[in-house]
Structures are given as structure tokens and as C-alpha cells.
Structure 1
Amino acid sequence: MTLHKVDLNLFVVFDAIYTESSLTRAGQNIGITQPAVSNALARLRETFNDPLFLRTAHGMIPTPMARRIVGPIRNALSLLQVSVQQSRGFDPLLSNRTLRISMNDLSEVLLLPRLLQRLQQLAPDLCIESFGSRHHEIPQALAAGHLDLAIDAPAPGDAQIHHLKLLEDRYVCAMRKQHPLAQHDTLELEQYLAQPQILVAHPRDKPHSIDLALARLGRQRRIALRSRNHLMAWHALQQTDLIMTVPEHFARQHALHWVNLPVEQPALLETHLYWHESTDHDPANRWMREQLIELCLAMCLE
């Protein structure tokens, strides 16, 4: 096979099929029809003299040949993308680009207002789309280009997903400053367990690490309200005598009275920033990573 005889657009189709495991979704991803994807796949099969993908009940499954060539193909596409992007340059003051960032509810509350304040000065026409993705879906969404960045808890390693730690945090017990217990600098375990509490959690979430630590002691919290939204929980704290176990950064940022938890925490909370290797040298993606790193550093120094 000589490269000058191969349509390089076929490699884009190959990458989309590999990522989506579906001809229809691959076409939607790159903006062509399903018949056009089928035609491209036929040409790819002829070029490589291999089926490349086999249709199964679970989607289009790559053959050993496809698995061998996907890495070099993606690296080549990445280099081409970087070359095009660098030739265009990136000026945050002039850019009207949209960057899609996956954040959970807590990250949105902690980071988005500060990020938007910074962007108003440095990149006034830049648009941010923030939405939550399930933890296990993030690598594929980054690989497919559906996400530019993701902010989430630590995850198992993936060679094509780059990451760095943005924040370390710990849980504290928070309450409104007028709470009857706000005069105390510490809480005994019995006081903590006697207070009705707010728990922010999604129904699919695993048990809270604090609840697991309490269970090892044979104890349990009194949960008066379960919610999926930290901002709503903050409003509830301001108007009631409920308490809430939250990361310390959240308590500090929202002017709550907080004390150390009367139970040993298993580990510090970590928040990581993720991006796909294909965007590692993308000027806009790199610039946004720098803004988030600086923002989090400033938050830690407050």
C-alpha cells in the first residue's frame, strides 16, 4: 500500500467507527451519511485486505488488524489536526470557540463562577458548555471529540487520556453561621450523629466514604434530606438547622461555619483534569487547561 493512493479521509472514518462501534453513529459524529460510511469501510477493507470490523449484536467489533493500526492512525490524525490548528493560531481575546467540559455538580459550583469571571476579562467571546458525564463514559467522549476536557475524580489509567491533579480536599461538617452549634470549634461524634443532615448524592452513587467509615464503627447518620444539587443544599443550610458534610473548599467559598469531622477520613478527595492525547497540543485546549490550573492554585492559596 502506498500512501499517495489512499484517501486520508478514510482514516477519519476508520477512527469514528472504532470509537463509536456503529456505522450510523460514526457517520453522525463526522457529519456524513451511513451509506457513505459503509462505502468508506468497503474501501478501507480493500486497502488493508482485512474486514477491519465485524458486525455483532454488540456493535461493530474491530479485528486484530484494526486493533494493530488504530494507534498509528490516531497519532497521524492528531499530528494533522495540530498542524492545522497551529497554523490558524489561537487568540483568546478574539476567539468565539465553544469548549465542552464535563463537570459534576460540585465542580460546577466551585469552579464555573470563577472561570467565567476570568473569561470575561481574557476571552469574552469564548463559550463554555458544561454538562455532567458518567464517570465511565468520559474516556470515550474525549476520544470521540464530544468533550474537550473533563473534571472528575481519579480514574483507572488510559494511555490515550492525559490527566493531572487539580485539587486536593477533605470533608468537613458545615452549617449556617447562626446555627446553635456554630459557637463550637469542634463536634463530638454523638453531637454530629444527633444532628439531622443533608446528603448530596445521585441514586447511582456508591455509599459516601464518611458513611462507610461510620458503618465500621457500627454508627449511622440521620439524613433529613437527600439532594443531587450542592447549591440547593447550601440554600437549605442557610434557612434551617440542618448540617452537611462537604469538601472544605465548598464550605470556605460559601461562607459557612465548619468544623473538623469527628470521624477519621479514609483519604483526601482528589479532583483531576482529563483530556485526550489528540488535543494535547491544541492551543485552545492547552490555554483552557492553563486557566483551570491557575484558578485551582489560587483557590488553594486562599
Structure 2
Amino acid sequence: MRLDKLDLNLFVVFDALYQDRSVTRAAERLHLTQPAVSNALARLRQQFDDQLFVRSPSGMLPTPVAEGIIQDVRKALALLGRSLTNNAKFDPANASKTLRVGIHDSLAPMVLPVIAQELHHKAPSIDLHSYYRDRANAVEALKSGDLDVLLDSPAVNAKELRQQPLGESHYVVAMRKGHSLAKRKLDVEAFIKSKHVHVSSRAKGRGQVDIALNALGLKRSISARMQQHQPAADITANSDALWTTPLILLKGTTLIHKPLPFEVPPLSWNLYWHLSAEEDPASQWLRKTIANACSTLLQQH
């Protein structure tokens, strides 16, 4: 294969096909016609003497050859992109693009409005799209470019990612107004005797609160367990159950709260991005904007 005879745009199509596993979706992503994408795939197949993608009931699956070159292709495209943008000035007031944010369900209600307000005032032509992804898929989305940034806990680990701490929020014990404990000091004994609501992204397993209680030789009674925070707030507001949660998550609820009567480490959040975007001026501006907005919000809680 001679590089001087190769159209580098073919690799852009290759990357889109790998991400979308569909000629139709790849064409939509690249704003091309389906015949144009099909033609590019045919040329790639000829260059590599391999099918690269084969049809299946679940979409176009990459062949071993395609799997073997995808990371090098992405690195090359990222390097070329940086070369084109590193010397360019980014003007947010006149920039037109879409910011794709992966954000944990717990943070979205508080953080997204703040980010949207910042963009409205400083970059009115930048659109905000948010997606909830589990951590494994979110990391892959950052690698592929489906996400620009990810806001999540420090549990995310991948050597290809860069990260910046955004802040933390301390745990408190939330309860409804009029609760029998509302005007009393909440001690460990009263905490243990109460029923509890527990939120976790996992279907089973102990959280930070239960780990701390276990270290004290104690165990609480969990009457409701769920993966979303809004139902937890609703259940707590309409029952005598207690909900131990980071303070920031009580914003916008009618719940009152008391200090947790034992020590639990605060919940922290980080901002993540792929190393290929490290020096990109647009990414740098977006990261700074998000970090400033989120840090201010988290420091209040």
C-alpha cells in the first residue's frame, strides 16, 4: 500500500463505520450519502485486501484486520486533528459545535443547567447534548469521540484518559419535614433503628455508608433500594425512612437534613477527557468552563 496514493478521508469513514456498525448511521454522522460511504468502504477493502466489516443481524461487525488497526487509525486521526487546531485560536462567541457530555445521573439535575447557562452567555452557538452511560461505555465513548467529556466519580480508571477534580459533597441524613427525628439530635442508635432508602448504580453490594457501619460492627435496615435519586427523594418525602446522601443531591427537594452521626468519606466527582483532546483549544475552553461552573456549585455543598 502506497501512502501517497491513499485518501486519508477513508480512515474517517472507517472510524465512523467502526463506531456505528452501520453504513446508514455512519453516513448520517459524517453528513454523507449512503452510496458515498459504501464507495469509501469498497476502496478501503481494496486497499487492505480484507472485508473489514461483515454484515450480521446485529450490524456490520469488524473483522480481525479492522480490530487490529482501529486504535492506530484513531491515534493518527487525533494527531492530525491536533496539528490542524493547535495553532488556531478558539473563539467561543462565534464557535458552532455540539458539546457532548457524559454525566452521572446524580449530577445531571444540578450541573447541566449551570453548564447550559454558561454556554448561553459565552458561546450561544454551542449546543449541549448529554448522555447517561455506564462507566465502561463512557470510557469507550471518550476514546471514540462520541463524548467530549465525562463527569463521574473517581472510580473511572483508564490510562488513555486525563482527569481533573471538580469538588466533593459531604453525606448528610435526609428526612421529611415533620419527621419524629426532625427536632432531635440524630445519634447512631436512632439512625440504626430507622428504616433507610439506599441509592446505588449497582444491583447489589454495600455502599460507603454500610461499609462505615460495618467497621463499627453495626448494620442498618434498608427498606428500599434503587438506582435513581429522584425516586429516593420522593419516597423519603412521603415516609419515615431516612436517606443518607451527598448534600448536593438535596437541592430542589423539600427534605430537611441532619449531620451523619459517624464518619463517611465525602463523595467526589471528576472531569474526564481523552488524551487526544488534551491540547485542543476548543476542548481546553470547554473543560475550563465546565470545571469552573461545577466547582462553584460543588463548593456550595
Alignment gaps of 5+ in structure 1: none
8 Å Cα contact 1:193-1:222 kept in structure 2: no
Match of 1:286 in 2: 284
Q: 1:170: Cα distance to partner?
A: 4.4
SS of the equivalent of 1:275 reads strand
Query: Partner amino acid for 2:278?
Result: D
Distance (Å, rounded) in 1 between the aligned partners of 2:93 and 2:128: 15
Match for residue 43 of structure 2? 43
**What does residue 146 of structure 1 align with?**
146
Q: Is it true that 1:92 corresponds to 2:98 in the alignment? A: no
Q: CA deviation at 1:176?
A: 4.7
The answer as to whether partners of 2:160 and 2:275 remain within 8 angstroms in 1 is: yes
Matched AA of 2:138: I
Match of 1:63 in 2: 64
Residues in 1 aligned to 2:203 and 2:71: alpha-carbon distance in whole angstroms: 34
Return the match for 1:297 from 295, 298, 301: 295
Tell me if the contact between 2:164 and 2:270 (Cα under 8 Å) persists in the aligned partners: yes
TM-score (norm 1): 0.76
- Shift of the 52–129 alpha-carbon distance from structure 1 to 2, 3 Å rule, reads closer
Q: Which amino acid aligns with 1:136?
A: A
Identical aligned pairs, as a percentage? 35
What amino acid is aligned across from residue 60 of structure 1 in structure 2? L
Distance in 1 (CA, whole Å) between partners of 2:115 and 2:190 is: 37
The gaps in structure 2 that reach 5 residues or longer are: none
Whether contact under 8 Å (1:174, 1:246) holds in the other structure is: yes
Residues 199 and 232 in structure 2, CA contact (< 8 A), matched pair in contact too = yes
**Residue 243 of structure 1: aligned partner:** 242
- The match for 1:126 is 126
Q: 1:28: how far off?
A: 4.5
What does 1:1-302 align with in structure 2 at a 5 Å threshold? 1-21=1-21, 23=23, 25-32=25-32, 36-49=36-49, 52=52, 60-63=61-64, 67=68, 69-85=69-85, 89-155=89-155, 157-176=157-176, 179-188=179-188, 190-201=189-200, 205-209=203-207, 210-211=209-210, 217=217, 219-223=219-223, 225=224, 228-231=227-230, 233-234=232-233, 237=236, 241-251=240-250, 256-262=256-262, 265=264, 268-302=266-300
Instruction: Write the letter of the residue equivalent to 1:143.
Output: K
8 Å CA contact 2:196, 2:220 repeated in 1: no
Matched pairs, number: 296
3-state secondary structure, aligned to 2:93? coil
Distance change in 2, residues 1:129/1:41 (3 Å): closer
Report the RMSD for the aligned CA atoms in angstroms.
3.7
User: Counterpart of 2:10 in 1: which secondary structure?
Assistant: helix
Moved more, 176-185 or 131-140: 176-185
Query: 1:75-108, CA deviations, whole angstroms, 9 ceiling, x for partnerless residues?
Result: 3322333455567743333345331212222111
TM-score for the superposition, normalised by structure 2: 0.76
Structure 1 pair 238–116 and aligned structure 2 pair: CA distance change class (3 A): farther
- Residue 6 of structure 1: how far off its partner (Å): 1.0
